[in-house]
Amino acid sequence: MSADGSTLLARGTKGLAATGELYALAGDTIYASLRGIRHRSFPWREMLQQAWFIASVCVLPAILIAIPFGVLVAVEVGSIARQIGADSYTGAVDALTIVREAAPLVTALMIAGVGGSAICADLGARKIRDEIDALEVMGISPLERLVAPRLVAAILVTMLLNGIVVFVGVTGGFLYEVWVGHGTSGSFLRTFTEFTSFDDDVVK
């Protein structure tokens, strides 16, 4: 095998190993969370503190991104709709775009980028200060004590943050359409409720 082929194979093997370690960590974390809940040893206070921390670093950037999304959809759709005489369907397109597409994307970016980097920085600092090694010496699982509450907190904040992004994005599009685009609030809300439902907010 050539040197290039060996290098490519080594990189591919390393990437598969890293992916396997990631899935193994996710499985161990889920198991540790369920075990802690079952034995009533899950650190709920730590989970609430981490949920507040993640929300505090993610909410403002998410809002600042959601507002342009809603306005941009209203601008583009309103311009095209007025040309073809379908002004009343701006709310429907806003629903399909914000609720089903933009809100989950913005939420994932905020949780992975902002919240995830903050969590990694915190755990890295604990590793440097030998706090994780100290927990292992005392017989305390770092997964159950540190990683599991952060995972549960991130899941909780993700659901709440998605709702915030939907509300802010739709409100921005609604205000632009009514105040700037001179549309009617009734037609916007009517088509919005026709093309979206509670299941979209919950599932997406």
Assign 35 a pLDDT band (cuts: 50, 70, 90): confident
pLDDT of residue 177: 73
Assign 82 a pLDDT band (cuts: 50, 70, 90): low
pLDDT of residue 201: 47
The highest-confidence range among 1-10, 96-105, 127-136, by mean pLDDT, is: 127-136
Asked whether residue 183 carries a pLDDT value surpassing 70, the answer given is: no
Q: Worst-scoring range by mean pLDDT, 4-13, 94-103, 186-195?
A: 186-195
Asked whether residue 203 carries a pLDDT value surpassing 50, the answer given is: no
Burial 113-125 (b: 16+ CB within 10 A, else e): ebbeebbeeebee
Q: Look-up: residue for tokens 């990189």?
A: 11
Task: Tell me what the pLDDT averaged over the chain comes to.
Answer: 79
Assign 193 a pLDDT band (cuts: 50, 70, 90): low
- pTM to 2 decimal places: 0.75
Dihedral Cα 35, 40, 43, 45, nearest 10 deg: 150
Assign 4 a pLDDT band (cuts: 50, 70, 90): low
Q: Mind listing the pLDDT tens digit for each residue in 123-166?
A: 888 889 888 888 888 888 888 888 888 988 999 999 999 999 98
pLDDT of residue 202: 43
* Dist. CA 6–CA 76, nearest whole Å: 51
pLDDT of residue 181: 65
Percent of the chain with pLDDT over 70: 78
Are 191 and 88 in contact by the 8 Å Cβ rule? The answer is yes
Strands, E assignment, the chain: none
